[in-house]
Amino acid sequence: MNLSFEPISLDRQKDYAELLGSCPQVASDYSFLNLWAWAEDYGLHWAWEGNLVWIKQTRPEVFFWAPVGPWNLIDWQARYGGHADRRMDFIRVPQKLAELWSAAVGGEATVVEERGHWDYLYTVADLIELKGNRYHKKKNLLNQFIKKYEYTYLDFGSELVEQALGMQEDWCTWRDCESSEVLSAENKAISRILNDWQHFNGIRGGAIMADGVMVAYTVAERLTSDSIVIHFEKGDTQFKGIYQAINQMFLAHSASHFALVNREQDLDDEGLRKAKLSYHPVGFINKYRVTLP
């Protein structure tokens, strides 16, 4: 592909959102906020070609991500059919695009499941109401939090950025971010989002304050007309039930008009997988690694 890749820029986020909206399936990886947050860590660049945006990762090695745009309107067979000397590796490819590519080039495509990258999908109403036995533990911890602490829930806006940055710094001290590459990279991604908060379209969030101090916050983004994605969620675990509280309160106060919430992937982390499964997902966005001629 003779494409001209350039750094991801804020001034094209509206154009990008339009093309993302034309994708038959939208995974959390491809939200503008996610690209912006992780652009430095992954060395992400994009290239614009007609009604497609191509995304390239350059760190720690070079990979292409799925292109963004109306996949079902592209003649993939003309593009990739026929043997080629060089093959291209794509990662984080949503299932619908993997199926389109497989249909277009048949056995020439290699498709491998990437379970750690699957997005977890939940019904917003389920996570607000926490009804029945399966949510009994979550509801119990939420109720303990409500009864035990004097707190206030706030919609997140730019006026709370400094407090969130302060809380994030404390959280990193508790968790010793510097000794973990994963937490250190996530900390940089969070700072990048918080520092540019006022420049993003579709961003929203919530915070819980106790004794005038922020003890939890969440950063989210409208993903499609009926779904929201939670990018970051942090709480001070000295407050019992804090994660159950910020999860439920954000959806109840700030996102109840969405049908689905996407809580991103588990990256094959066993603890994270267990936690995400404990909220009873109603589905997944399966993703694959695809090699094309």
Query: Taking the model in full, what pTM does it have?
Result: 0.95
- The CA-based dihedral angle spanning residues 7, 13, 16, 17, taken in that order and rounded to the nearest 10 degrees: 150
CA atoms within 13 Å, Cβ hemisphere of 153: 16
The helix/strand/coil state of 50 is coil
**Mean pLDDT within 49-59:** 96
Q: Using alpha carbons only, give the angle 18, 206, 116 rounded to the nearest 5 degrees.
A: 65
Q: pLDDT tens across 68-122, in order?
A: 999 999 999 988 876 555 688 999 999 999 999 999 998 889 999 999 999 999 9
**Mean pLDDT within 190-207:** 97
Biggest alpha carbon–alpha carbon distance for the chain? 66
**β-sheet bridge partners, residue 196:** none
Spatial CA neighbour of 102 closest among 111, 94, 112: 111
For residue 107, give Cα distances in angstroms to 64, 113, 249, 293. 20, 16, 48, 10
Terminal Cα distance for the chain, rounded: 11
- The CA-based dihedral angle spanning residues 181, 68, 233, 199, taken in that order and rounded to the nearest 10 degrees: 100
**Mean pLDDT within 200-220:** 96
For residue 235, give Cα distances in angstroms to 16, 44, 132, 204, 255. 32, 29, 25, 17, 19
Q: pLDDT tens across 222-238, in order?
A: 999 999 999 999 999 99
Q: Rounded distance, CA 192 to CA 170, Å?
A: 17
- pLDDT number for residue 267: 96
CB 49 within 8 A of CB 8: no
**Mean pLDDT within 245-260:** 98
Q: Rounded distance, CA 214 to CA 274, Å?
A: 27
- pLDDT number for residue 243: 98
Handedness of CA 80, 82, 88, 90 (dihedral sign): positive
Q: Rounded distance, CA 168 to CA 197, Å?
A: 15
The helix/strand/coil state of 223 is strand
Q: Please, what are the domains in the chain?
A: 6-118 (3.40.630.30), 119-264 (3.40.630.30)
Spatial CA neighbour of 229 closest among 182, 285, 270, 173: 285
**Mean pLDDT within 199-224:** 97
- pLDDT number for residue 1: 63
- pLDDT number for residue 85: 57
